[in-house]
Amino acid sequence: MADLQDLAELRAEVRDRLREHAAHAPPATGAHEPMDYETGPELRSWIERLRAGRWLCLSWPTRFGGRGLDAFACMAVNEEFARAGVPRPALGMGETLLAPAILQHGTEEQQERLLPRILAGDDVYCQGFSEPEAGSDLARLRTRGVVDGDRVRITGEKIWQSGAHNANRVFLLCRTDPDAPRHRGISYVVLDMAAGGVRVEPIRMMTGDHGFNHLLFDDAVASLDDVIGGLNNGWKVAMTTLGAERAGHITSQYLGYERELTDLVRRLAQLDRLDASATERMVDVYAQVQLMRFTGRRVADEMAAGRSAQVLQAIDKINWSELHLEMGLLAAELLGVDGITRPAEDGYRLTPLQRVLLESPGRRIARGSNQIQRTIIAERVLGLPR
């Protein structure tokens, strides 16, 4: 763990760089994170500036273009960007989810071959874990991987693949030993989606976007060199990916909710609807945002002490996803017709708060459904029977 002096110097460096370059940055969004996964020219230009300054892939070893920062230093950088109202976008799931698995379980050859292409933006990844009929239970996956010489032939389907319509590669789980116990016989495979045998079917959402997708694999072929962690060891590798998915911006995500709450207060004031009743409800939401803030700090403290923070992360995940749903419903109620309609002359473009209303129900499923998170808390904290 970086010491306090090092963290202070790092924060000062970030502030200096942001003062120099922030005028070129697009404004940070709220917590709604639009699910269309489209990158406009302004954001692409900002990503190039961050790439040139080595503010992407912060935790990667320096030999792969990163800064070699530990989790706490990464949190410090994310906090400074968030407080400045400036986005620090990641290079998609390749950086945030696949790279931690490659760094921990991949061979040196895999690291040297795959990581630079992620940093350069040559490869854009989507995640192939969830399947129809499997719910949140990854061990029920039915996608098959048949070893054929030095290749794996993959047949099956995946559902709810975020950003797959813009990806050229996918990291997926497939069952390569059908006779093994549930959590064994699974392999973690990287697949070139342009090599054939992969069909992407976009799923239209309530917002009108097509951010989610349905992937179908019909004898798609991957090299054994692209099996991360070795054959039939995919469950262990997948746990690394899921851990990275749930921990990333734990200490700074509350700031996105604060921005959305501020936006709601501003709109209510413009419409002269910020009366005593609305203000009281805003205070309650603000208190919940601060609860999220301090839960994030507790997670960081547990990690700093070398203790598992899985249960706290489960609590945090329930808190922020349920709060987002509450915020969306509250905005629609308090804003009235202005909260749920858009004029035809602007093409019915959704406001950020309308996106919260329509996208927040899915947040209770993403990153592990809230039912699963409650089971973790019940069994591991309360000691209830399975």
Question: What does the H/E/C string look like for the chain?
Answer: CCCHHHHHHHHHHHHHHHHHHHHHCCCCCCCCCCCCCCCCHHHHHHHHHHHHCCCCCCCCCHHHCCCCCCHHHHHHHHHHHHHCCCCCCCCHHHHHHHHHHHHHHCCHHHHHHHHHHHHHCCCCEEEECCCCCCCCCHHHCCCEEEEECCEEEEEEEEECCCCHHHCCEEEEEEECCCCCCCCCCEEEEEEEHHHCCEEEEEECCCCCCCCEEEEEEEEEEEEHHHEECCCCCHHHHHHHHHHHHHHCCCCCCHHHHHHHHHHHHHHHHHCCCCCHHHHHHHHHHHHHHHHHHHHHHHHHHHHHCCCCCHHHHHHHHHHHHHHHHHHHHHHHHHHCHHHHCCCHHHCCCCCHHHHHHHHHHHHCCCCCCHHHHHHHHHHHCCCCCC
In a domain, 95, yes or no: no
Report the share of the chain in percent with pLDDT over 90: 46
Whether 273 and 369 map to the same domain: the answer is yes
Q: Domain containing 225: what range?
A: 123-241
Whether 204 and 267 map to the same domain: the answer is no
In a domain, 71, yes or no: yes
In a domain, 63, yes or no: yes
Domain's final residue, options 89, 114, 139: 89
Whether 157 and 264 map to the same domain: the answer is no
Whether 41 and 131 map to the same domain: the answer is no
In a domain, 329, yes or no: yes
Whether 330 and 224 map to the same domain: the answer is no
User: Mean pLDDT across the chain, nearest whole number?
Assistant: 87
In a domain, 109, yes or no: no
Domain's final residue, options 224, 241, 258: 241
Q: Residue 205 pLDDT > 90, yes or no?
A: no
pLDDT at 70: 85
Look up the CATH number of the domain holding residue 299. 1.20.140.10
pLDDT tens, position by position, 94-143: 998 999 999 999 999 999 999 999 999 999 999 999 898 876 677 789 99
In a domain, 333, yes or no: yes
Whether 226 and 166 map to the same domain: the answer is yes
pLDDT tens, position by position, 210-235: 778 999 999 999 999 999 999 999 99
Q: Residue 198 pLDDT > 80, yes or no?
A: yes
Whether 236 and 260 map to the same domain: the answer is no
Q: How many domains does the chain have?
A: 3
Whether 224 and 258 map to the same domain: the answer is no
**Catalytic site residues?**
245
Segment 21-27 shows an average pLDDT of 85
Whether 151 and 201 map to the same domain: the answer is yes
pLDDT at 92: 87
In a domain, 59, yes or no: yes
pTM score of the predicted model: 0.83
Q: Residue 325 pLDDT > 80, yes or no?
A: yes
Whether 256 and 375 map to the same domain: the answer is yes
Look up the CATH number of the domain holding residue 235. 2.40.110.10
Domain's final residue, options 241, 265, 296: 241
Whether 169 and 255 map to the same domain: the answer is no
In a domain, 70, yes or no: yes
Higher pLDDT, 63 or 250: 63
Higher pLDDT, 169 or 381: 169
Whether 181 and 298 map to the same domain: the answer is no
